[in-house]
Structure 1
């Protein structure tokens, strides 16, 4: 991200703190904010009934929330602070407006968020292979003999 894009985004943020065990958002709620975690940890979860299933754990420097970028702008998972979290909080509407007004910022934000989504999908794929695939089925073709 260019220094100018970074400054424009940071101008739309403020510091927040979530105590441990705080529910930050719930699945299917409106996604109106997002965060960059400065310290602490957050569990992303899915509630398939009454028991939360932890999908991933986020920490320092990670983006919490990307559902705000895509209609209908509702969370696909829930999030709970597992250790006290300090984060930069961004108003999604303000950032979407900035991205519309400044195409360079829009490209930077889109590229950064796409990278996060790709990393999370790859991580989920690896976890699914570890859980359900026969041993060795996740070996890349380049190494298979």
Structure 2
């Protein structure tokens, strides 16, 4: 768990509390797909318990798992940036409990309150940067002749 994606460490208290007021509690069974790469991103989650893996479609091969997300971590960022289409897929590895958020509602809140919007944008942007790095390292480990050379 990293401070760039963990809610309590990455999002300041006031915007975090405001965001959590619109949270809806949900659960997923093991193997449930939360979202699919290329489909419309209309919601996002913060994991309460369990693990969600993010995967990337690789033509001619099984989907490559690029990261595992656990308690307090943001699942999904594609909802925040047009065209609001998932860049990865997500699956529960076991039972998952999470807070779910409607993307349209959060985007409207961001548009109405610049300070809230900036806090959300920084939090989501950090998650994007972290996921990009994790994806790069994982794909190099899987497909490069000598791996990524990273111990991450």
TM (normalized to structure 1)? Answer: 0.84
Change beyond 3 A, Cα 1:78–1:14: same
Change beyond 3 A, Cα 1:128–1:4: same
**Cα RMSD (Å) of the superposition?**
2.2
SS of residue matched to 1:34: strand
Q: Work out whether 1:119 is the aligned partner of 2:130.
A: yes
Gaps of 5+ in 2: 1-10
Deviations for 1:112-140, whole angstroms, at most 9, x for unmatched residues? 1111111122223333444426479669x
Provide the residue aligned with 2:28 in structure 1.
Answer: 18
Question: Contact 2:141/2:148 (CA < 8 Å) preserved in 1?
Answer: no
Gaps of 5+ in 1: 140-145
Larger Cα-atom Rg: 1
Question: Contact 2:45/2:75 (CA < 8 Å) preserved in 1?
Answer: yes
Provide the residue aligned with 2:67 in structure 1.
Answer: 56
Question: Contact 2:140/2:148 (CA < 8 Å) preserved in 1?
Answer: no
SS of residue matched to 1:38: strand
Provide the residue aligned with 2:39 in structure 1.
Answer: 29
Q: Work out whether 1:42 is the aligned partner of 2:62.
A: no
Provide the residue aligned with 2:3 in structure 1.
Answer: none
SS of residue matched to 2:84: coil
SS of residue matched to 1:83: coil
Once residues 136 and 120 of structure 1 are traced to their aligned partners in structure 2, the CA distance between those partners, rounded to angstroms, is: 15
Provide the residue aligned with 2:112 in structure 1.
Answer: 101
| Range 129-138 or range 93-102, more displaced | 129-138
The match for 1:70 among 81, 85, 101 is 81
SS of residue matched to 1:110: helix
Structure showing the higher strand proportion among its residues: 1
Question: Contact 1:129/1:138 (CA < 8 Å) preserved in 2?
Answer: no
Q: Using the TM superposition, give the Cα deviation of residue 105 of structure 1 relative to its aligned residue in structure 2, in angstroms.
A: 0.6
Change beyond 3 A, Cα 1:120–1:135: closer
